[in-house]
Amino acid sequence: MDKIKVDAVITNLELQLETANNPYGSFVSFRFVDTFPSFPKVNEMVSEIKKRTDVDLVDYEFTYTGIHEDTDLTHLVITRN
């Protein structure tokens, strides 16, 4: 049986949002560490925005890059358990 590889990755999430006050929309970008391949933080953020009645989620997309020994993590907050 094949094992699924679970790994921490740097994720870039971009959301396109609209509100009643701004019908032309806004783009919001986030950069954070998430878990590959399930991306629970991405899924949670998208789910929370979809629940809101004052914001419409028009579209979203995300990309990710692996974390290696030479990856610069200086601008990311990482909590180790």
Confidence bin at 77 (pLDDT 50/70/90): confident
Confidence bin at 39 (pLDDT 50/70/90): very high
| Residue 29 located in a structural domain | yes
Closest by CA to 62, choosing from 26, 25, 15, is: 15
Confidence bin at 54 (pLDDT 50/70/90): very high
Read off the pTM. 0.85
Residue 30's contacts (CB-CB under 8 Å, 6 or more residues apart) are 11, 12, 13, 14, 15, 45
Name the 3-class secondary structure at 43.
helix
Confidence bin at 23 (pLDDT 50/70/90): confident
| Residue 78 located in a structural domain | no
State how many domains the chain has: 1
Domain containing 62: what range? 7-66
pLDDT at 1: 54
Higher-confidence residue of 73 and 57: namely 57
